[in-house]
Amino acid sequence: MANVNYEVQLKALAAMSNRYGADSEYVLAGGGNTSFKSTDRLWVKGSGTALATIKPEDFVVLERALLDKMWTKAYPESEAERESAVLADMMAARVEGETRRPSVETLLHNLFPQQFILHVHPAIVNGLTCSAEGEAAMARLFPEAVWVPACKPGYILAIDCKQRMDVYKAETGKDCTLLFLENHGIFFAGDSVEELDVLAAQVMNTLKSTVKRHPMIDEIEYDREKVVKIAAELSVLYGNGAAVKFTVNPEILAYDPATKSLSPDHIVYAKAKQLALTEEANIKGAFDAFEVENGYKPKIVFVKDMGMFACGMTAKEAETALVVMQDAIKVVAYAESFGGVSPMPEFLIDFIVNWEVESYRSKVSLSK
């Protein structure tokens, strides 16, 4: 492969990816993606690869001209047909011999003219993107950024971003470097890693000094005996030998378990709905009723005045669900500073629940 010419840049891309990927302020559960581009080619994170450990040779290589063609191609009206045609074209845009699957957000990476792209879903950023006054707050805090309303991921989102970025360029004469995606996350763009680092730090620092309060997520005391007992019961209910994790902090105790999903990642790793129990409740009855109603077992179980349990078939799966749900709870706290939380619209939640591509990512990422 013609990586040879870009060895230095790909090393810088991998190092940058590892740095942000290992920083929990930016990345959770293998989420987020990065890319580097030359005039002809795009090197983008593969679907299911983790930023924290990605190596220069791990990036999926695509022909940019073939990706560009996708903007003007007429795709089927039907959603399922369209997205499978788009996926097929994306796979066909890979350089010869490339076998890995590129990130589902590949089109967005190709959209930016800048060489280095970082796309992440930090809790503090999503405090803004998942809030009632997010768009207005963004315009005030980051006048050079572009806002993209929540919409279905995949081709429709990519086209919407393209149109908004084109308008920005026509109006300002500049290429957009910051894209805020409602109920999703953020794209940073720069022509060097240094440029990108400055931009990311500036956004994070501005948000940190703007929010009225930071979430209180230090674990607090709990009744170990009761927790162990409930964890054992949940382990049996979730499945033979399921792993169950527990944590509690002031933010969890104050959280409303009926809050709707905030972003795609929250649904992928913690499911669209969570089970809420009172301590005295018949756990088995509530657990079984939840499964009947939703078609899946709860990964997250809130017990009133006690805390939050997370279930998974492996310790990693349970831990990931716990961490991602904790992230959603942090987002709710941050969103207070921007007029309160604004969850995803119901149609989008349903769409993500059924989204094949995301479930692929969840499977691959968790199998590592």
- Kindly tell me which of 185 and 307 has the beta carbon lying closer to Zn ion: 185
Smallest separation (angstroms) from Zn ion to the CB of 105: 6
- Kindly tell me which of 185 and 312 has the beta carbon lying closer to Zn ion: 185
Mutual angle of helices 7-21 and 193-210, in 10-degree steps: 20
Residues 271, 253: Cα–Cα separation, whole Å: 20
Smallest separation (angstroms) from Zn ion to the CB of 348: 13
Is the CB of residue 35 less than 8 Å from the CB of residue 116?
Answer: yes
- Kindly tell me which of 126 and 326 has the beta carbon lying closer to Zn ion: 126
DSSP state of 174: S
Smallest separation (angstroms) from Zn ion to the CB of 184: 6
Contacts (CB under 5 A) with Zn ion, residues 182-201: 185
Smallest separation (angstroms) from Zn ion to the CB of 31: 7
Give the amino acid at 44. V
DSSP state of 74: -
Residue with the CB atom nearest Zn ion in the bound state: 185
| Residue 102 exposed, middle or buried by CB count within 10 Å (0-12, 13-18, 19+) | buried
Smallest separation (angstroms) from Zn ion to the CB of 146: 16
Contacts (CB under 5 A) with Zn ion, residues 133-192: 185
The number of residues that bind Zn ion (CB under 5 A) is 1
Contacts (CB under 5 A) with Zn ion, residues 309-368: none
Token pair 């756990």 is found at 283
- Kindly tell me which of 178 and 252 has the beta carbon lying closer to Zn ion: 178
CA-to-CA dists, residue 361 to 103, 187, 214, 269, 316, angstroms: 9, 19, 30, 10, 15
Other Cβ atoms closer than 10 A to 98: 17
- Kindly tell me which of 94 and 266 has the beta carbon lying closer to Zn ion: 266
What residues make contact with Zn ion under the rule CB under 5 A? 185
